[in-house]
Amino acid sequence: MQRLLFPPLKALMGSPCLRLLAPRAAPRSQCGCRCGIGIPLRPGQYSTISEVALQSGRGTVSLPSKAAERVVGRWLLVCSGTVAGAVILGGVTRLTESGLSMVDWHLIKEMKPPTSQEEWEAEFQKYQQFPEFKILNHDMTLAEFKFIWYMEYSHRMWGRLVGLAYILPAAYFWRKGWLSHNMKGRVLALCGLVCFQGLLGWYMVKSGLEEKPDSHDIPRVSQYRLAAHLGSALVLYCASLWTSLSLLLPQHKLPETRQLLWLRRFAHGTTGLVFLTALSGAFVAGLDAGLVYNSFPKMGESWIPEDLFTFSPILRNVFENPTMVQFDHRILGITSVTAITALYFLSRRIPLPRRTKMAAATLLALAYTQVGLGISTLLMYVPTPLAATHQSGSLALLSVALWLMSELRRVPK
């Protein structure tokens, strides 16, 4: 917190604005003596800015615009970190099959976990009434239930922390006048998206609690709702990080050549491809598609498996057939790393600042690391630690892609 707030305050201490806050002595008489007798101020003339503020009904003075931008930028950087933590924790919750352990949702009431044996048994009895216990975990003990319950509880509490990290500082900065007109609109959209994300999370969980008499499959949440929940979290993360980088990183005055224009467009397209690949991972997780063909580069004994188009109509296979979902995720991953490789070599042909070159090189290294993690996760039948690392790698890859986009952004005229 000191690192976040002290540099802007130091800049403020040295600015002319603060010196104006000091009481200003009234002008001395023209007699030349040192008697210290001042000329009375005229009505409506004020000796300090604070007096002007009090006269106009305002008790505070805004930070200089650059210092305020740094504070807001660092706040949004912290917020994007909390969203990344929520995504990672949500992935671990899904991998440990803990997401359906809390069968109701209360904004305030559920913040207090069970403490006595009677409360735990009552919570366990509520869980036993739903399909996951009846079909999958009918022999689960209370100690095992406590583990999955605390996993889901920690994810929900972290979500509330994310909401507070956005809403409380936003209200404070708004009141202090540290947000520009355009930034107010962005902050309102981000706070609205945080609230929507919480509601969407419960809407997703409800899909896994519903009784499905005609289905003999393992109870799980809808892959469509899971993808919507992850997608909205990724949008929130990207928007927060992009805004933060735009405020914190100074823009390079690059010559607007045709090569730079192509590089910028290609960087935008590559970032979109990385985002789509990460989003497709939600369908892989929702259908347990990582467990159907645990071989690479072939899927079983063939390059293109025979059960790609099992469902009818054909479009259903893209979102509901585990084989097709894994196949799509592989293709998107390979396409992404190919595009990142091309982007790196394209950036080498253009004179760019050192920081921009570092972003391109980091993106390339992370892309191949992510491919290695994905293949290892597949071959080892999706162990939780490795799969969670793979999911975290997608966020890291998306972050560096946004960093590179920020480095290449056009300087406004």
pLDDT per position as a tens digit, 314-339: 999 999 999 999 999 999 999 999 99
- If asked whether residues 173 and 294 sit together in one domain, one would say no
Domain count, the chain: 2
- If asked whether residues 210 and 296 sit together in one domain, one would say no
26 found inside a domain: no
- If asked whether residues 221 and 310 sit together in one domain, one would say no
- If asked whether residues 95 and 243 sit together in one domain, one would say yes
- If asked whether residues 72 and 153 sit together in one domain, one would say yes
Are the C-beta atoms of residues 80 and 241 closer than 8 Å to each other? yes
- If asked whether residues 71 and 203 sit together in one domain, one would say yes
36 found inside a domain: no
- If asked whether residues 324 and 191 sit together in one domain, one would say no
20, HSE (Cβ side, Cα atoms, 13 Å) = 13
- Among 220, 248, 276, give the residue marking a domain's end: 248
pLDDT given at position 331: 97
50 found inside a domain: no
- If asked whether residues 206 and 276 sit together in one domain, one would say no
202 found inside a domain: yes
73 found inside a domain: yes
- Among 194, 222, 248, give the residue marking a domain's end: 248
- If asked whether residues 260 and 313 sit together in one domain, one would say yes
| Domain boundaries, position 193 | 65-248
- If asked whether residues 262 and 203 sit together in one domain, one would say no
131 vs 100: CA distance, rounded Å: 10
pLDDT given at position 410: 79
377 found inside a domain: yes
Low-confidence ranges of the chain (pLDDT < 50): 1-61
102 found inside a domain: yes
Angle at which helices 65-95 and 258-286 cross, to 10°: 30
53 found inside a domain: no
- If asked whether residues 315 and 378 sit together in one domain, one would say yes
- If asked whether residues 394 and 325 sit together in one domain, one would say yes
pLDDT given at position 321: 96
- Among 233, 248, 263, give the residue marking a domain's end: 248
126 vs 119: CA distance, rounded Å: 11
pLDDT given at position 251: 86
